[in-house]
Amino acid sequence: MKLFKGIANNISAPVIGIVTRNPWTLKRKDCVLVTEDDHGFISGFGGIIAMVGDKKTSLPTIQAQKEDLRALTDGDCVSLNQDGTVRVVWEEQSSMNALLLTEACDCKCMMCPQPPKPHDKSLVVISRRILGLVKTNASRMICLTGGEPTLLKEEFFNILRLIDKKCPEASTMLLTNGKSFTDYNFTKKFIASKPKNLEVCVSLHSDVDEVHDQIVGVKGSFYKTAMGLQNLARFRQAIEIRVVINKLNFNRLESIANFIIRNFPFINHCAFMGMEVTGYARDNFDSIWIDPTEYKEQLQKAVKIVSRANLNVSIYNIPLCLLERKAWGFAKKSISGWKNAYLPVCEPCSVKSECGGVFTTSGAFQSCNIHSLADA
């Protein structure tokens, strides 16, 4: 998520509000006023982000730079924190926004960009606050992510019910390892609680149990994930299977594709994904990283297998120049806007506007084979 840091004043606990530049708005308590001018005697706002510091005000305030203020859009939902950090927790202009419900997880995936941490209850409080403030419609998507959101049990169900109540028209995406759905009663309660337009995105990294379990770091995970998928299918739940490609599974992509179409023909979508090299992926770089050019032929064959089975299939997070041209039609712009960019070498590329670019969070850990395509 977008963030910047300024100088905090009068902030004893995180303040969450909707960005406005209108000092006369009537819904002040739910808003954070953004102003480049002296905010004078303005009162009643949840907080203020300003260029000019004012020690006389009792309102939670963060003094920030002009370029930071101008990066905010009216309607964004922001969090003002005690250390002066401003986080954009909901982007008004984004078609998809994520709610981080927990950083706890029952897996320890070797390429996880969000390494597990003990559950912080404030994350649920923040998510509920965001849902109470923002407005959504059918063109918006809410992504529930973690950690593993399903570990929250009743708190997780409560979030689902809140989305159904507050954002009934929005599409919702749940990112999960699927293991909680091994419990049939849990799955039944999930179905009863969820908003109508929800898709469950389940990670499955191999067609062989030992390989999948090695990647996710917990023995027995493969069979739990497979059973979870079957239980979800019993309720005709919309499902996407996600395969993150890495050094341990790249040579099995065709086998994985065949395994998916034979055992899970009920899914709505299958996605083969490039890695975001941060978190555990960076810690385990030598063990897990493989350049997409080394598996592009296998990947093209894998998506062809799934597509021929009449299942929707996509490629996420891989620039077009690293794919076989036959696979370009399956490549999507999948990287969240706040961490999506193009390398300098991409500037003259003739297909830049069609390419999904790279993760800024991967830093210098990019493929050395990324190049400009002069004539596509």
For the chain, residues classed under CATH 3.20.20.70 are 96-335
Question: What backbone torsions phi and psi does residue 310 show, to the nearest 5 degrees?
Answer: 70, 30
Identify the three-state secondary structure at position 149.
helix
Residue 70 is given by DSSP the state: H
For 71, 140, 200, the CA distances from 360, given in Å and listed in that order, are 17, 24, 26
**AA letter at 72:** L
Mean pLDDT of the chain: 94
Q: In whole angstroms, give the CA distance from residue 307 to residue 271.
A: 11
Mean pLDDT of 165-193: 96
Output the pLDDT for position 42: 78
Mean pLDDT of 159-168: 94
* pLDDT-based confidence at residue 375 (cuts at 50, 70, 90): low
Q: Judge contact between 271 and 242, C-beta under 8 A.
A: yes
Output the pLDDT for position 54: 61
Q: Judge contact between 153 and 179, C-beta under 8 A.
A: no
* pLDDT-based confidence at residue 51 (cuts at 50, 70, 90): confident
Q: In whole angstroms, give the CA distance from residue 23 to residue 294.
A: 56
User: Is residue 147 reached through a cis peptide bond, with omega within 30 degrees of 0 on the bond before it?
Assistant: yes
Q: At what angle do helices 154-166 and 122-133 cross, to 10 degrees?
A: 10
pLDDT above 80 (res 37): no
Q: Which residues contact 251 (CB under 8 A, 6 or more apart)?
A: 295, 298
Question: What backbone torsions phi and psi does residue 165 show, to the nearest 5 degrees?
Answer: -80, -45
Burial 320-352 (b: 16+ CB within 10 A, else e): bbbbeeebeebbeebbbeebbebeeebeebebb
Q: What is the CATH number of domain 96-335?
A: 3.20.20.70
Mean pLDDT of 352-362: 96
Alpha helices in the chain (DSSP H): 66-70, 122-133, 154-166, 184-193, 209-216, 221-234, 253-263, 280-283, 285-288, 296-308
Residue 165: left if φ>0, alpha if ψ -120 to 50, beta else—which one?
A: alpha
Burial 64-81 (b: 16+ CB within 10 A, else e): beeebbeebeeebbbbbb
Output the pLDDT for position 52: 77
Q: Judge contact between 301 and 290, C-beta under 8 A.
A: no
Output the pLDDT for position 53: 67
pLDDT above 80 (res 55): no
Q: What is the CATH number of domain 3-90?
A: 3.50.30.10
- Say what the pTM is: 0.93
pLDDT above 90 (res 138): no
Name the token pair of 74: 């009216």
Output the pLDDT for position 43: 84
pLDDT above 60 (res 372): yes
- Which segments of the chain are extended strands (E)? 3-5, 7-9, 15-20, 31-35, 47-50, 61-63, 77-80, 85-90, 96-100, 141-145, 171-176, 198-203, 239-244, 269-273, 312-316, 340-341, 358-359
For the chain, residues classed under CATH 3.50.30.10 are 3-90
Output the pLDDT for position 1: 75
pLDDT digits (tens, 9 = 90+) for 220-263: 999 999 999 999 999 999 999 999 999 999 999 999 999 999 99
pLDDT digits (tens, 9 = 90+) for 78-137: 999 999 999 999 999 888 999 999 999 999 999 999 999 999 999 999 999 999 999 887
* pLDDT-based confidence at residue 38 (cuts at 50, 70, 90): low
Q: Judge contact between 147 and 118, C-beta under 8 A.
A: no
